[in-house]
Amino acid sequence: MPVPATIVRMARDLWYWQWKTLMTGLAPADKDGNYVRPKANFLQISPQTAHLVEKSRYTLIVGRSCPWAHRAWLVWIIRNLRETINVIIVEPDRKRGKWRFVTPFNGCHNLYDLYLLCGSPKSQRATIPVIFDQKEMTIICNESAQIIELLNNWPASMESPELMPFSYQKTIEKWRELVQFDINDGVYKCGFARQQSAYTKASATLFEALGIMEENLNKNGPWLCGLHVTLSDICLFPTLIRWELVYAPLFNCNRHLLWQFPSIWQWRQRFFSLPGVADTCDSEAMVSDYFGSLFPLNPSGIVPDNPSLASLVLSLIPDPRHYE
């Protein structure tokens, strides 16, 4: 027996009201429905450079699904900082909305408890990435943009690359700004838009930025700033490696397919193939956390199947004639 149309309309109106209520708690928006990233109270203490070489003193805390933590993890990998800073990977506890330690760390079972242990107020959001000082029992920094700069200046071997050389600084900052606001935040502006007009605006801005990236890589590649990997590449990769798995299907970032930007597609292949990078890319963790945690966007909680990340990233660009 079909459900009466009146009941269907009432259910839709009720669900829409509940959806807006849930979205308000998940992702704040302005009066026009545009997602506005909430301000966070970041912590930062400048460590003494001489202390940075002390083994086992500092720990970088990251999570496999978080793109902001991913960028810090990538700097640690690419600059080969294993000898001077440890890495701990936390996992999401979706029922409690916290990051939890696989094994207790300094007596703490979750990241929020570690923040409290370090003297943070109870109102402080326990976010990743984090650099923790074991000797002073304090959090040095929990802001990803600052952490990647700190790690770029961390003592390393002579073979470790400089990811923000002085001669490239202005160019790097230009690309980092575009990546941060129009791409890293841009996918969230699409996914968390409250109104059609807000989504349309965000989608247009996002794909315009990708078009700028495509043109630059085509003319000036192989990397965003030319011949060398820099922090601008580091900031772009975590978003693009999650594209087909998360942002296109869940956040509606699908005005164009990523392979329709061939220079970006090849750039992602090159970056993914850098030593150690593939080990930081856990497709199962990415998909399960996004689809399992963001109830307003995926109320069924169903986590979709996905192809092997390596086979997806390293595949050849399809022949456009097959899609005409």
Query: Tens digits of per-residue pLDDT, 69-78?
Result: 999 999 999 9
- Give me the residue label for tokens 């399992």: 292
Amino acid identity, residue 184? N
Among candidate residues 179, 183, 203, the one with its CA nearest the CA of residue 34? 203
Structure token pair of residue 303:
């986590």
* Equal CATH topology for 56-152 and 166-323: no
pLDDT class of 312 with cuts at 50, 70, 90: very high
Q: Which residues contact 134 (CB under 8 A, 6 or more apart)?
A: 56, 57, 58, 59, 106
Cβ(188)–Cβ(35) under 8 Å?
Answer: yes
Amino acid identity, residue 314? L
CATH 3.90.1150.10 fits 56-152, yes or no: no
Q: Is 125 annotated as a binding residue?
A: yes
CA 61 to chain centre: 14
Q: Is 126 annotated as a binding residue?
A: yes
pLDDT class of 40 with cuts at 50, 70, 90: low
Q: Is 293 annotated as a binding residue?
A: no
Structure confidence by residue, pLDDT tens digits, 229-275:
999 999 999 999 999 999 999 999 999 999 999 999 999 999 999 99
Helix axes 144-152, 67-78, angle to 10 degrees: 0
Q: Is 127 annotated as a binding residue?
A: yes
Catalytic residues: 66, 188
* CATH class of the domain at 166-323: mainly alpha
Q: According to the model, what pLDDT value does residue 2 have?
A: 76
Q: Which residues contact 91 (CB under 8 A, 6 or more apart)?
A: 63, 64, 99, 100, 102, 285
- Give me the residue label for tokens 């456009």: 320
Q: What angle do CA 228, 232, 233 make, to 5 degrees?
A: 60
- Residue 323: pLDDT above 80? no
Q: Is 288 annotated as a binding residue?
A: no
Q: How far apart are CA 62 and CA 44, in angstroms?
A: 17
Q: Which residues contact 262 (CB under 8 A, 6 or more apart)?
A: 214, 317
Among candidate residues 208, 206, 170, the one with its CA nearest the CA of residue 191? 206
**Where exactly are the structural domains of the chain?**
56-152, 166-323
Structure confidence by residue, pLDDT tens digits, 185-240:
999 999 999 999 999 999 999 999 999 999 999 999 999 999 999 999 999 999 99
Q: Is 144 annotated as a binding residue?
A: yes
Strand order across the beta sheet in which 98-105 lies: 108-110, 98-105, 86-93, 58-63, 130-133, 138-141
Structure confidence by residue, pLDDT tens digits, 86-141:
999 999 998 888 999 999 999 999 999 999 999 999 888 899 999 999 999 999 99
Alpha helices, H only, 221-295: 231-241, 248-251, 262-272, 283-293
